[in-house]
Structure 1
Amino acid sequence: MPRSLIVLAGLLALAFAQSTYTVQRGDTLFSIAQRYGTTVEVLQALNGITNPGQIRVGQVLKLSPQPSTALLNRRTDLPAPIEALEWPRQTVQGNVAVLHLITAQPVSGQVRFLGADYPIQQNRVLLPVPALQDPGVYPAVLLLEGYTVRLDIRVVAGSFGRYILQLPPDREALLQPEKLRAERKKVVESCDWNRSQQWQGNWHKPVDSNRITDPFGTRRSYDKGVTYSFHEGLDYGVPVGTPVRAPADGLVGLAEPLFVRGNGVTIDHGDGVCSGFWHLSKILVRPGQVVKAGDLIGLSGNTGLSNGPHVHFEIRIRGVPTNPALWYWNAP
């Protein structure tokens, strides 16, 4: 092989093996993502960046997750046939703590965490940590047949922005608490939590864009800072009419105009995992329709409680919103 090709192959191998990158003058998060075959959302999630436009020269960015047994708790004192139980040493607000049971055969049971029950499915349990959960250590009780195991889940603070939103007068009229509660209930109930897992592998982005106008978890106020809620998904700032596609396999749960969320679609992906797409200009699927990753489900818009053209994309686990960016590179 010519020496030039050997050098090129070595450089390529080094680039692919690289786990960090130091920001240079002229870099953007988008250009770095393209260079290393990743996405803006992944870089944001790995580095706690809430505003993709705010990176600085000399900043060291993680390019990929660093899986390590040192990052996991492990117990081996469980009853047969369970060989071990593993779970993360810490979980950021809005992320998912995944409990893995190492066993050669299926195990049934559930985990009680933060006042809710989460079933063992495929020898794992998905425990969503609410984005507003105070940092601290919380008990998780694993209930097996005739056996109880108490675990500790450590929640650490995320890095979230804080915004006061100014809405046009006609849109402020949508902020009616009773209608907000009713619509949220409808969204959550549009998915069957007992459906088996439909997706395989990591998820895809719902739109062909890296322009995130509002990341997950942003603390938001509509009343000039008197009270704050949080942003339950990712907002992609795209023109009206941009194709919106299913990020993973599933079954359409809801496809209709909503009061606050505008034209909306939910997809039931199984295991209690449901995705939502709001403010569409056009809905192109119907409830009960089976969709595959990449299928067209609608067109972006500016309907409902929206202050400009965009697509809001969210992922809930049994009704609890979680950070969608994590599902692009490390879907449970």
Structure 2
Amino acid sequence: MPAHGAHWRRGALAALAALGLLTAAACSAGADGTPEITTRMVTPVGPSPTPTLPPGVSPTPLVPPELIVSTLEVYQAGAVLVSVTGDIIGGQVEFLGRKFPLTKGSQSQYTFVPVDTEDPPGTHRLTVDVRMPNGTRGTLEATVTVLATPWTVDYLEFTDEQTATLLDPQVVADELALLKSIYVKVTPVKLWSGPWLIPTQGALTARFGEQRSINGAPPSGHHGGTDIGAEEGTPVVATNSGTVVLARELRVRGNMVIIDHGGGLYSGYAHLSSIAVAEGDHVEAGQLIGAVGNTGLSTGAHLHWEMAAHGILLDALRFTDGTNGF
């Protein structure tokens, strides 16, 4: 699968217009001359008190927002890191009909915009609405292209006992509902920093998104994680820093740890033979959280590694190989 490097595009907003004027500016243009990032600011209508300053003191101007997107081309099951710098107090990103709140980071407000496995390939508009301390609202826009991912097919065989218990539709649905209830929560604090780590050493045995044929049935669905085969007991570490929000045994995923990285982003580690952390613990990138195992619905010792943003499962390897632009 070809990898695309980062395409960083920046768009600086025009200075705020006085007296309620509307300002529009094209900040970056594509090859055909059409704007790739555009901005619009609107100052609230109505009288406002004239500020009183000591003689010789000038008002401090607001720093206009600047939009930064990690890439303008993203694969299905990838993510775009969207950041807004400048004097803003909040906002949200809209892409493919979904809305995601911005989270305050150390240098910007940001969010990871997820692309689902079945989202349509093609060019789509990404819109960011921001709020400034003086009541001004701004709109920033970028054009992002979703690239199709060719999904592989894996053929799996399970025993009658595994099929009757762990593959029971209600068992699977209940577990997915539990995970969904965790993955949709947004902790409005940035808990991660720096690069993302591959959590264990071993061979890649199953890619995210591949379709599964169970006991000869037609392929269906998409694998919700990345499988890394390794000997039982091989250390598993946190891909980045965050708070442990789940550390317990599940029916299908076996012993599992989930880490909240803040801003609606989570990582999950399943089929562990042992768990080395507890719910509520803060962990650092590279910290031991468990060991590779064969618990739950598993045909051999391996780590099932998940990443999810705003409730949408993503290809974890794209957080480490540069194809998301970060």
Using the size of structure 2 for normalisation, the TM-score is: 0.73
- State the AA in 2 paired with 1:161: T
Q: CA RMSD for the aligned pairs? A: 2.8
1:243 counterpart = 2:242? no
Residue 28 of structure 1 corresponds to none
Q: Deviations over 1:45-87 (max 9, x none)?
A: xx44xxxxxxxxxxxxx7x835465998742433285454344
**Hey, what does 2:250 align to over in structure 1?**
258
Give the residue type in structure 2 aligned to 1:280: L
Greater Cα offset, 143-152 or 124-133: 143-152
Residues of 2 paired with 1:274 and 1:82: CA distance? Answer: 31
Asked if the contact 2:67/2:140 (under 8 Å) is kept, the reply is no
Gap change, CA 1:148 and 1:106, over 3 Å in 2: closer
| 1:104 aligned to which of 86, 100, 114 | 86
Is the 1:261–1:303 Cα contact (8 Å) retained in structure 2?
yes
Cα distance in 2 for partners of 1:183, 1:315 equals 16
SS at match of 2:316: coil
2:77 to 94, 114, 117: 94
- Specify the alignment match of 2:209 in structure 1: 217
1:77 lines up with 2:69 in the alignment: no
In the alignment, is residue 135 of structure 1 matched against residue 121 of structure 2? yes
How does 1:188-207 map onto structure 2 within 5 Å? 188-190=180-182, 192-207=185-200
- 2:37–2:140: 8 Å Cα contact kept in structure 1? no
Q: Look up the match of 2:5.
A: 65
Among 306, 309, 317, the residue aligned to 1:317 = 309
* CA distance in 2: counterparts of 1:287 and 1:83, whole angstroms: 37
- What are the within-5 Å matches in structure 2 for residues 154-169 of structure 1? 154-169=145-160
**Alpha-carbon offset, residue 201 of structure 1:** 0.9
Q: Which runs of 5+ in 2 are unaligned?
A: 10-27, 42-61, 132-136
Query: Partners in 2 of 1:264 and 1:71 — Cα distance?
Result: 46
Deviation at 1:316, TM superposition (A): 0.5
Whole-angstrom distance in 1 between the partners of 2:221 and 2:115: 16
Per-residue deviation, 1:248? 1.0
Residue 251 of structure 1 aligns to which amino acid in structure 2? Answer: T
Going by fraction, where is helix more abundant, 1 or 2?
A: 1
Query: Structure 1: how far apart are the matches of 2:118 and 2:124?
Result: 14
- Deviations along 1:138-187, one digit per CA (max 9) or x if unpaired, are 44443334455565442120132122322222222212222222212212
- How far apart, in 1, do the equivalents of 2:286 and 2:68 lie? 33
CA distance in 2, matches of 1:142, 1:242: 43
Contact 1:203–1:329 (Cα < 8 Å) also in 2 = no
Contact persistence 1:280–1:301 (CA under 8 A): yes
Q: Which structure has more RCO (C-alpha within 8 Å, separation ≥ 6)?
A: 2
Please tell me whether the aligned partners of residues 276 and 288 of structure 2 are also in contact (alpha carbons under 8 angstroms). Answer: yes
- Give the residue type in structure 1 aligned to 2:154: Y
Q: Distance in 2 between matches of 1:238 and 1:71?
A: 48
User: Is the partner of 2:261 in helix, strand or coil?
Assistant: strand
Q: Is the 8 A contact 1:314 1:324 kept in 2?
A: yes
Judging changes above 3 Å, is the alpha-carbon distance between structure 1 residues 249 and 109 closer, same or farther for their aligned structure 2 residues?
Answer: same
Could you tell me how far apart the structure 1 residues matched to 2:63 and 2:149 are?
Answer: 37
Q: Distance in 1 between matches of 2:245 and 2:65?
A: 37
**Matching residue's letter, 2:147:** V
Which one has the bigger strand percentage? 2
Q: Is the 8 A contact 2:207 2:223 kept in 1?
A: yes
Does the CA-based 8 Å contact 1:107-1:120 persist in structure 2?
no
Moved over 6 A (4+): 70-73
Q: Residue 267 of structure 1 contacts residue 274 of structure 1 at CA under 8 Å; is this kept in 2? A: yes
Aligned residue pairs total: 270
Unaligned runs of 5+ in 1: 1-46, 49-61
User: Equivalent of 1:281, from 270, 273, 276?
Assistant: 273
Report the 3-state secondary structure (helix = DSSP H, G, I; strand = E; otherwise coil) of the residue aligned with 1:182.
helix
- The aligned counterpart of 2:169 is 177
SS at match of 1:270: coil
Task: Describe the shift of the 1:86–1:223 C-alpha distance in structure 2 as closer, same or farther (beyond 3 A).
Answer: farther
Offset, 1:222? 2.5
Select the structure of larger CA radius of gyration.
2
Structure 1, residues 63-117: CA drift from partner, whole Å, max 9, x if none?
Answer: x83546599874243328545434433211000123333x432341112334432
1:222-265 alpha-carbon deviations (Å, 9 max, x no partner): 26343511122211110111111111111111011101111111
C-alpha displacement at 1:315, in angstroms? 0.7
